[in-house]
Structure 1
Amino acid sequence: MMLVKNYMDRSPIHGQGVFAAEWIAKGTRVWEVTPGFDLLMPKATLQLLPDIQRDFMAHFGYVECATGQLVLCMDHARFMNFSARPNVARPTDWHGDPLDLQLALRDIEPGEELLFAVTEDLDAELKIGSQLYRT
């Protein structure tokens, strides 16, 4: 669930994107997985869905790096785009495993698109092809 004020708008990266509606200080918690709000699904369950539902989940969800579960954000977060220069990222625990949240990597200005690293979605290359976004 998004934890900062945001809005959707046209993105030069991929059609729609999520933008900061307020100034966000470096280190601010921007998003976190919220069970009961966001949908969490084992990848094995995904294979049991009809094609149209599976395609929707694959497009709008992401495969969580730490658990391998599919996560479908139920708010604007599902429209966040990847970037080679992200401004939000997942911290890791003391084992180096990613946590289920994203922090601002630097101060983010109002109107700036919120972007995360392609490495945060195990299915990223399937979604964007073999060429990573150059933004």
Structure 2
Amino acid sequence: MLLVSHYVARSKIHGLGVFTRVPIRAGATVWRHDPMFDVDIPAATLAQFPEDLAQTVRHHAEYLPHLGIFRLGNDGDMFMNHSDDPSLIDRGEEMIAARDLAAGSELTCDYAQVCVLGYENAVLPPLEAAA
């Protein structure tokens, strides 16, 4: 769950992105996993989804192979794009600002750290490993 005021808008990186409405200081916690808000979808159940919804999960959720789940945010988090110079640093159950961010900055992460199966350049474990 994003802990900062944010909005979703067109991204220069890809399609839609998520942006901060407020300035954020380096090291501040910007996102934290909240089991009451974020949805954990067992990977084994993805085959039961219609293909368009399964593709949405693969493109917008983090895949956690050690848990065999996809974690899908219920806020702008699902529109977070990849960057080789991300504005957020993944710390597992939370993400912190990599540097001071001005209001209007796009919130990005590194898909090498945040496993998104739908990312076209990702080198990721096969989904079957979670079953």
Q: 1:129 maps to which residue?
A: 121
Runs of 4+ off more than 6 Å: none
**SS of the residue 2:31 aligns to:** strand
What are the ranges of 5 or more consecutive residues in structure 1 without an aligned counterpart?
Answer: 92-98, 131-135
Shift of 1:50: 2.8
User: Displacement, 1:52?
Assistant: 2.6
Q: What secondary structure, in the 3-state scheme, does the structure 1 residue paired with 2:40 have? A: strand
- For 1:28 and 1:121, the matched residues in 2 are separated by 18
Match of 2:99 among 87, 92, 106: 106
Give the distance between the partners of 2:66 and 2:4, measured in 1 at CA: 24
Q: CA RMSD in A?
A: 2.0
1:106: Cα distance to partner?
0.9
Indicate the SS of the match to 1:127. coil
Q: Identify the residue that residue 81 of structure 1 maps to in structure 2.
A: 81
Structure 2 residue ranges without an equivalent (≥5): 123-131
Q: CA deviation at 1:68?
A: 4.1
Farther-moved stretch of structure 1 (11-20 vs 60-69): 60-69
User: TM (normalized to structure 1)?
Assistant: 0.81
Summarize the alignment of residues 12-91 of structure 1 with structure 2, pairs less than 5 Å apart: 12-64=12-64, 67-91=67-91
* Percentage identity across paired residues of the two chains: 32
| Kept in 2: contact 1:62–1:70 (CA 8 A) | yes
